[in-house]
Amino acid sequence: MTGSGAALALAIRNTDPFVAARRGDGTLLPDYLDGHRILGDPGVLAAAAAELARRIPPGADHVAGEAAAGSGLAISVSLAALDQGRRLAARTLRREPKVHGITGVLSTAVPPSSNFALVDDVAGTGACLERCTLRLRELGHHIVGAWVVVDRQNGAAERLARLGVPFAALLSIDELRTTRSN
């Protein structure tokens, strides 16, 4: 790993992103990668958003993430794209449809058949990105790809490939661990 990937890995390492956490079944995970810690650092967020904006192809009209980390990252990527001279509208996908105000799973109205780039802080199994893909497709939109800051390498790439969605990560968890141990 060289260049911007190495610099980003080092910056992420400095956020101390590995924490002890519990799974839903109560199992302790002593070295859990906390995506919120990563993107809570404004320098890391800005660097990751700028790199993601560079990687999203010109065919994308919107960048979206699921409510919580994904939506904040989508907004940051949208702003970074604007700094790079490109308009890429940010959208939030809700887990549950809203029944008042702007209803549905999208935070704002979007023209039919729009092209979406999905973003998230960390991908594990890819369940969140799959859910976003299926929701947007149900609404008649197209997914140009999915990008994450760190891939935990727990099957996200394979899951999205089955849906025909290109997937890429700025870093793998192995690259991050290697940087962390230096």
- For residues 48-79, b (16+ Cβ closer than 10 Å) or e, as one string? bbbbbbeebeeebbbbbbbeebbbbbbbbbbb
Q: For 36-51, write each residue's pLDDT tens digit.
A: 889 999 999 999 999 9
Instruction: Please provide residue 12's backbone torsions phi and psi, each rounded to the nearest 5 degrees.
Output: -65, -45
In CATH, the number for domain 42-172 is: 3.40.50.2020
Residue 78 pLDDT greater than 70, yes or no:
yes
pTM (two decimals): 0.91
Average pLDDT, the chain: 90
Domain range list for the chain: 42-172
Q: For 80-93, write each residue's pLDDT tens digit.
A: 999 999 999 999 88
Q: 33 to each of 7, 122, 172, 180, how far by Cα in Å?
A: 18, 8, 11, 12
- For the CA atoms of 2, 65, 133, 141, the dihedral, rounded to the nearest 10 degrees, stands at -110
Q: For 124-162, write each residue's pLDDT tens digit.
A: 999 999 999 999 999 999 999 999 999 999 999 999 999
